[in-house]
């Protein structure tokens, strides 16, 4: 008989059985991350965890996460971690999912619901915790390449080796595509190097990772109704393009002495984005630093954590008269610094019951300095200046209860208080809009969840209900970012999974409603939040060397962006079918092919004020993976 939870999660900063976490948790790894099935992590999360994504470019590589019903700037309300270091930008810009090739990833943990007590800012809707691979004991070298529709081409090398206590793991990747729509081409070169060291006496461990990405992407812009229905592949004209150079370094050191462990995590990111939308030529330089020391103690009754989180976010924006970047017409310096203290404890009450709880306090400091020059005759000895600063604070708490009467069943109840600070470009403006809303406060709220999970040898069933109240949710209304009237999100998440020897299947369904509960829009739905999300996936293994799979995704309609009054035509529902095949004729060789949106459905995941952002139609790819 298989135990209920043979796997552990590190989402609480230490290894713990999933059965002891009072939350809905998905752990993704193994074949689900194979390039035969998924081009990017967006594909993985959409299929394996029923997460809804939106994309303004039509490409999943710049897709926004929509978890727990946040339709506006949802990337600011879901925390994404890579080896414990946040990937979220400090402003409302999105992720570049090419920074994390699937071949780099060992596992993904998805925690739904507020996790702000342990993680602070961004962790309002949930946490996606990505753990990268370490080199195995035996050296290996693997090459993967595939090509596909719309000029798609990808080639990558992955390798690693261990030298005693030192392991080295590396990934090099080149990606390019013309894009489904006109003016949506993109390409990227990516390098990753990861090191892990454990001395012979195992007294401590240290690891580090360096990432470098050089990328280019275009954005075709939105289409009117007539143009969208006539030809969704066309661009809006006046394409937007950006070049991005990104590098990051992060490290971890930990030492265990008896029941105690000291853990220090930190990272630094430098990113230069040279963007060229018509009339808004700028060079944006981001610097992000984090330091997270914590002390952990594991005793016979449970585990305790005392931790500190320090963060620094600096953004320098240089505005130019033209794309040649010869005449500087403005300069902005924006920063956000944070410091937090938190404590958390999980306690066994009996063989069947566990109680957990924690408390967090955090302070934040914003600074903004701007200089503007005459765009036609700049005099750099003088200019129009503006400066502002602001101090904010927030606190969160959680309390959870888990009942596990057998190895096959668990039930949980959890309550949270949560907060989120404004993003840099919510608090300030450096794109030509009003500069500062002095009345903008952090979002605050409460979250309550009740769920249960039952598992036998091959079958897993999970049902989770939640309700979340947000006070002062931030959105753009009335020509500035403002705190909206109170909102409520409530819903049900369900999963049924069968894991057999020759076949497997998974059904995920989410019902969710996000509404205003006071003010002018009382009773209205929040925009870009679908009420229904369903994913059905299945794979068949008729031979040991052959794997066939398919998935069906349905997303219901939603009110278009900025439709606070709920009186505009809705974004229509969509249904998409994807298929793939993976054949391993030799132990060292795999051949694979896939087709997304098999029936070439015409749909969009984003629509704002009557302007459509089309999603790709039918696309395909085929390739091979060879292990030397």
CA distances from 486 to 313, 483, 521, 523 (A): 29, 9, 10, 11
Per-residue pLDDT at 4 = 38
What is the mean pLDDT of the segment spanning 337-362? 97
- Higher per-residue pLDDT: 532 or 377: 532
Percent of the chain with pLDDT over 70: 97
Query: How crowded is residue 557: how many other Cβ atoms within 10 Å of its Cβ?
Result: 14
What is the mean pLDDT of the segment spanning 456-485? 93
CA distances from 131 to 198, 209, 307, 335, 563 (A): 18, 12, 20, 29, 38
- Exposure letters 530-551 (e unless 16+ CB within 10 A, then b): bbebbbbbebbbeeeeebbbbb
Confidence category of residue 59, pLDDT binned at 50, 70, 90: confident
Q: Are 329 and 375 in contact (CB under 8 A)?
A: yes
What is the mean pLDDT of the segment spanning 465-489? 93
Per-residue pLDDT at 1 = 28
Query: Is residue 5's pLDDT more than 50?
Result: no
Query: How crowded is residue 46: how many other Cβ atoms within 10 Å of its Cβ?
Result: 24
Domain ranges of the chain: 8-442+449-627
Lowest mean pLDDT of 20-29, 96-105, 289-298, 362-371, name the range. 96-105
Of 622, 529, 526, 522, which Cα lies nearest the Cα of 581?
622
What is the mean pLDDT of the segment spanning 203-209? 92
- Higher per-residue pLDDT: 203 or 493: 493
Per-residue pLDDT at 275 = 84
Distance CA 130, CA 62 (A): 18
CATH number belonging to the domain at 8-442+449-627, selected among 2.40.170.20, 3.40.50.300, 1.10.10.10, 3.40.710.10 = 2.40.170.20
Q: What is the pLDDT of residues 273-326, one digit of tens each?
A: 998 776 678 899 999 999 999 999 999 999 999 999 999 999 999 999 888 888
Per-residue pLDDT at 428 = 86
Please report which residue ranges of 445-540 form alpha helices under DSSP H: none
Distance CA 529, CA 491 (A): 12
Q: Are 89 and 290 in contact (CB under 8 A)?
A: no
Query: Is residue 568's pLDDT more than 60?
Result: yes
Distance CA 254, CA 248 (A): 21
Query: Is residue 444's pLDDT more than 90?
Result: yes
CA distances from 163 to 167, 195, 200, 272 (A): 6, 11, 12, 36
Per-residue pLDDT at 435 = 56
Per-residue pLDDT at 2 = 31
Query: Is residue 434's pLDDT more than 70?
Result: no
Helix (H) or strand (E) holding 151: none
Confidence category of residue 3, pLDDT binned at 50, 70, 90: very low
Distance CA 195, CA 9 (A): 22
Mean pLDDT value across the chain: 91
Tell me the DSSP string of 472-493.
Answer: S-EEEETTEEEEPSPEEEEEEE
What is the mean pLDDT of the segment spanning 122-136? 90
Q: Are 228 and 236 in contact (CB under 8 A)?
A: no
Lowest mean pLDDT of 22-31, 350-359, 449-458, name the range. 22-31
Confidence category of residue 337, pLDDT binned at 50, 70, 90: very high
Query: Is residue 14's pLDDT more than 80?
Result: no
Per-residue pLDDT at 169 = 94
What is the C-alpha radius of gyration for the chain, rounded to an integer number of angstroms? 24
Lowest mean pLDDT of 237-241, 423-427, 562-566, name the range. 237-241
């Amino acid at each position: 008989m298989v135990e209920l939870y043979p796997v552990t999660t590190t989402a609480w900063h230490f290894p713990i059985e999933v059965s002891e976490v009072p939350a809905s948790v998905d752990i993704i790894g193994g074949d689900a991350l194979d390039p035969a099935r998924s081009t990017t992590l967006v594909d993985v999360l959409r299929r394996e965890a029923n997460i809804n994504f939106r994309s303004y470019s039509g490409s999943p590589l710049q897709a926004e996460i929509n978890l727990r019903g946040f339709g506006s700037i949802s990337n600011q309300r879901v925390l994404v971690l890579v080896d414990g270091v946040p990937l979220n930008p400090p402003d409302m810009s999105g992720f570049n999912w090419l920074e994390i090739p699937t071949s780099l990833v060992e596992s993904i943990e998805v925690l739904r619901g507020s996790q702000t007590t342990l993680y602070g800012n961004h962790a309002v809707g949930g946490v996606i915790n990505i753990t990268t691979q370490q080199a195995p004991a035996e050296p290996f070298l693997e090459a993967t390449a595939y090509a596909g529709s719309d000029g798609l081409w990808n080639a990558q090398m992955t390798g690693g080796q261990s030298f005693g206590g030192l392991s080295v793991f590396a990934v090099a990747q080149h990606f390019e595509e013309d894009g489904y729509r006109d003016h949506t081409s993109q390409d990227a070169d990516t390098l990753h190097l990861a090191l892990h060291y454990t001395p012979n006496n195992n007294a401590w461990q240290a690891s580090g990772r360096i990432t470098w990405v050089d990328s280019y992407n275009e954005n075709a812009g939105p289409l009117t109704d007539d143009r969208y229905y006539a030809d969704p592949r066309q661009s809006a004209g006046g394409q937007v393009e950006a070049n991005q150079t990104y590098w990051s370094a992060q490290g971890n050191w930990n030492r265990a002495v008896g029941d105690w462990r000291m853990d220090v995590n930190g990272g630094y990111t430098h990113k230069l984005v040279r963007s060229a939308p018509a009339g808004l030529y700028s060079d944006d330089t981001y610097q992000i630093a984090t330091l997270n020391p914590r002390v952990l103690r594991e005793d016979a009754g449970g585990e305790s954590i005392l931790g500190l989180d320090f963060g620094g976010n600096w953004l320098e924006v240089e505005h130019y008269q033209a794309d040649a970047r010869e005449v500087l017409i403005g300069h902005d310096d924006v920063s956000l610094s944070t410091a937090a203290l938190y404590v958390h404890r999980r306690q066994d009450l009996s063989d069947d019951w566990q109680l957990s709880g924690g408390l967090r306090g955090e302070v934040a400091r914003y600074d903004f300095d701007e200089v503007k020059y005459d765009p036609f005759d700049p005099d750099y000895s003088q200019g129009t200046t503006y400066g502002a600063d602001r101090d904010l604070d927030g606190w969160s708490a959680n309390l959870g209860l888990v009942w596990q009467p057998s190895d096959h069943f668990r039930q949980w109840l959890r309550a949270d208080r949560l907060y989120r600070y404004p993003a840099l470009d919510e608090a300030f403006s450096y794109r030509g809009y009003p500069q500062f809303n002095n009345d903008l406060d952090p979002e605050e709220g409460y979250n309550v969840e009740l769920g249960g999970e039952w598992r036998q040898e091959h079958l897993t069933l999970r049902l989770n209900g939640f309700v979340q109240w947000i006070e002062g949710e931030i959105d753009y209304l009335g020509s500035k970012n403002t705190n909206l009237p109170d909102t409520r999100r409530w819903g049900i998440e369900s999963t049924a999974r069968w894991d057999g020897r020759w076949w497997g299947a998974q059904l995920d369904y989410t019902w969710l409603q996000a509404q205003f509960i006071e003010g002018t829009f009382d009773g209205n739905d929040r925009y870009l939040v679908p009420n229904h999300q369903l994913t059905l996936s299945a794979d068949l293994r008729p031979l040991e060397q052959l794997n066939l799979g398919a998935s069906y995704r349905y997303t219901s309609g939603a009110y278009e962006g900025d439709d606070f009054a709920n009186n505009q035509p809705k974004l229509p529902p969509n249904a998409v079918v994807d298929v793939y095949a993976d054949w391993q004729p030799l132990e060292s060789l795999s051949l694979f092919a896939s087709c997304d949106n098999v029936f070439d459905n015409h749909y969009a995941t984003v629509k704002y004020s009557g302007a459509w952002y089309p999603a790709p139609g039918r696309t395909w790819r085929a390739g091979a993976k060879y292990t030397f």
